[in-house]
Structure 1
Amino acid sequence: MEKEVQKFSIKHPTVEDAQSITDLVSLCDIEEIGEPDITLSDVLDMWNSIQIETDAWIVLSTTNEIIGYGFVEITGANRMDTCVFVHPQYKNQGIGSVLLKKVEERAKVLAKGKDGGQKLMNQIPFTNTAARDLVENRGYRFSRLYERMKIELEGQPIQPLLPEGITLQSFQANYDENTLFSLYDETFRDAWGYTKKDSSTWISQKQGEGYDPSLWIIAWKDSKPVGFLMSRMQDDGLFIDLLGVKSDYRKHGIGKAMLLHIFGLAYQRKQKTILLFVDTDSLTNANRLYQNVGMFPHSQTAIYMKELTI
């Protein structure tokens, strides 16, 4: 039987709320995809790039249980991202609407004084039709579909076959920062949702929870950097955050070699689960690459976009 909530309160979270928020989002994940897709380190990592005292909110029941959570994050010069979560037992009581209103009000404040049009991206499980209806009624339009892909390693991965002249090296802190950022900036410049970022801020945000330089890989063609892979170890597996190869070096097996290399590192550390998210309309057909190394789609996330009017 669903709980009846006549009143609830909303406030900004504190660091002490991180585990309860993780538990809430896990419940939402289980309802949508059958298993949790978040860890405590994910929440803390996200909070490394937002101000929770102004840009995140929790909704409390009359018994002080966290039953809702939302945030807004600046992810580029003209882009902000948001997610809103409501406890499965407290749906259809206006909690999602209240959180979304808070998000949009704050996004407009953050957008003031910025040049160019500001876009707010909302990530929603594709199967959550009620949430999709909610954002559509608030002026968002469907923009993109992302797949969560996964593989469970059943044995030692095969050794990567490196193209001639290609070597793979782990990221060297205090040395490779500019190289890594330049690779990211060049290989993702044409990707959907790309916005220009400051290199030091980008590196700092990526070096959050779970940061391990040995899981950041740079591919070199002789002495020239041509590709990169960034990943981190999480409680639920090794998560591949970004993979990019310069356009002149694509379709030569470099991306596949980096993937198999990181699979091997994960297996050595007794981690058999590998996870990532990919744009189903990727210009480089990245999903085909991941399928080629044995990964399979596990769930889908719909991206809705709204132009902010200041």
Structure 2
Amino acid sequence: MDTGEQKVIIKNPTVEDAQVITDLISACDIEEIGEPDITLSDVLDIWNSVQIETDAWIALASTNEIIGYSFVEVTGANRMDTCVFVHPQYKNQGIGSLLLNKVEERANILAKGKDGVQTLMNQVPFNNIAARNLVENRGYQFSRLYERMKIELKSPPNVPYLHEGMTLRSFRPNHDEDTLFSIYDETFRDAWGYTKKDGSTWISQKKADDYDPSLWFIVWKDSEPVGFLMSRLQDDGVFIDLLGVKREYRKQGLGKAMLLHTFGLAYKRKQKTILLYVDSDSLTNANRLYQQVGMSPHSQTTVYSKQLTI
């Protein structure tokens, strides 16, 4: 394909391309937020639930250099997610449009035969005006703003406090899987963008290369699981993947206790950087909780949605 300024070949990636794709996304991150926000394990984690032979694409320059990347992932019964990346040196040459064409063509194929309205969610850095204009011109509607929050630990965090009868226990592999999925499903059911998932598939996807059961926790009220936190160690620090508390136990300090416990483990491991993403319009005002433990916004990502035509 000739974009006018650059001859581009679109093809599916192979596992051997993972590091180069990581470097490409890192270059985009550095331009947009000042530092990388991706690791090789992140890319491989996504590929655990994406068939790269059919659902991911790379754009190759005439020099055979990978200059663009996109994928589409089925993330629920009625939802798919995508991201499109173009190397900063090759922007404004139509490469993003070519990759998004592939995404939408494949998403429509995947949507055929499914019940209910199928929605494609597209994540775009807030300050990437060209990318936002591209998706808006293609019929996507603004849906949500997410903040990347961060803390650099300077000293050991405060000791977490739990009310009497509450205990925080580490996740037990081959024992707590059903419990963990059940509490995740209950606590995230009222979150924006929630879709029903298969428990065994969800767990297997979470147990990727950077899976560390010592960074997964469940809070119990006597024999009842009431909260959980899942995090993982990345090249750039500890990333908090999910945190949830049952509705009737919220505003009792459970979220704060799990965060401080995670901070303490990270500090002991000499991991001073803690990262997470949060919905700016969270129903539980999660932003406020993260700020209370010392985290602050670092960058923003917009989420756009589009109903698929089947």
- TM-score w.r.t. the length of structure 2 is 0.98
1:206 aligns with 2:206: yes
| % identical aligned pairs | 79
1:282 aligns with 2:282: yes
After TM superposition, list the pairs within 5 Å mapping 1:21-100 onto structure 2: 21-100=21-100
1:301 aligns with 2:301: yes
Does the aligned pair in 2 maintain the 1:42–1:209 contact within 8 Å? no
What is the letter of the counterpart of residue 277 of structure 1?
Y
What is the letter of the counterpart of residue 138 of structure 1?
R
Hey, what does 1:18 align to over in structure 2?
18
Q: Deviations over 1:168-226 (max 9, x none)?
A: 11111111011101100100000000000000001011111210111000000111100
> Distance in 2 between the 1:5 and 1:236 partners?
36
Hey, what does 2:226 align to over in structure 1?
226
> Distance in 1 between the 2:162 and 2:210 partners?
28
> Distance in 1 between the 2:243 and 2:42 partners?
19
Residue 269 of structure 1, CA deviation: 0.9
What is the letter of the counterpart of residue 206 of structure 1?
K
Residue 165 of structure 1, CA deviation: 1.1
Hey, what does 1:131 align to over in structure 2?
131
Q: Deviations over 1:261-306 (max 9, x none)?
A: 0001111111000000000000000110000000000000000000
> Distance in 2 between the 1:59 and 1:214 partners?
39
What is the letter of the counterpart of residue 233 of structure 2?
M
> SS of the counterpart of 2:139?
coil
Q: Which consecutive residues of structure 2, in runs of 5 or more, have no partner in the other structure?
A: none
Q: Deviations over 1:23-47 (max 9, x none)?
A: 0000000000000000011001110
Residue 5 of structure 1, CA deviation: 4.4
Q: Which consecutive residues of structure 1, in runs of 5 or more, have no partner in the other structure?
A: none
Residue 148 of structure 1, CA deviation: 0.2
> SS of the counterpart of 1:54?
helix
What is the letter of the counterpart of residue 268 of structure 2?
Q
Residue 164 of structure 1, CA deviation: 1.5
What is the letter of the counterpart of residue 47 of structure 2?
W
Hey, what does 2:176 align to over in structure 1?
176
> Distance in 2 between the 1:104 and 1:78 partners?
15
Q: Considering only aligned residues, what root-mean-square deviation do their CA atoms show, in Å?
A: 0.8
Hey, what does 2:189 align to over in structure 1?
189
